[in-house]
Amino acid sequence: MTTFVGEQKDFSNALYALCELDYDAVEAYKAAINHLESEGYKARLYQFMLDHERQIKDISEALVKHQKLLPQKLDAKQYITQGKIVLASLFGDQAILKAMLTNEVDTNTAYFRVKNHPDKWPEIDMVIEMGLNHEKKHKQWLINATRNTFADA
């Protein structure tokens, strides 16, 4: 799935959409963890899910500080991201990890765009940078795991 998060003209809308994307990611990680067989993969994905939850908290705090609305519930994309995981679970752990990788490609793209948004709030810089670093780490781990280079499966 290709994301348009971060392309919004108004920075607060881009940040709102990024928060929604992190909510979607949390739900996808929950679905993946519930369907994985490998305890090692489950443990790693649980840590990644916690990163997304922390990012939601940090972004939400910035939105509140600027008196902007917060996402109140998950959007329709959650069903697409979760659906990919459930479908992939029919084919085993590697398929689940590959589905999660496609989700992380989107979050990497979104964080990169928001980081470089022309109207970015200066005080959010560190939050977005930390989020982007998490997303890069998640993506790289998933790339390596889908190439079977990790022994913690």
- Alpha carbon distance 49, 105 (integer Å): 15
Q: What angle do CA 53, 55, 57 make, to 5 degrees?
A: 75
11-146 — its CATH code? 1.20.1260.10
Report the C-alpha gap between 102 and 68 in whole angstroms.
30
Q: For residue range 77-100, list pLDDT tens digits in order.
A: 554 555 555 554 545 799 899 999
- The predicted pLDDT at position 72 comes to 74
Tokens of 137: 């780490």
Query: One digit per residue, pLDDT tens: the chain, 153 residues?
Result: 578 898 999 999 999 999 999 999 999 999 999 999 999 999 999 999 999 999 999 999 999 999 999 987 655 555 455 555 555 454 579 989 999 999 999 999 999 999 999 999 999 999 999 999 999 999 999 999 998 654 454
Matching residue, tokens 């916690």 = 50
Domain ranges of the chain: 11-146
pLDDT at 83: 54
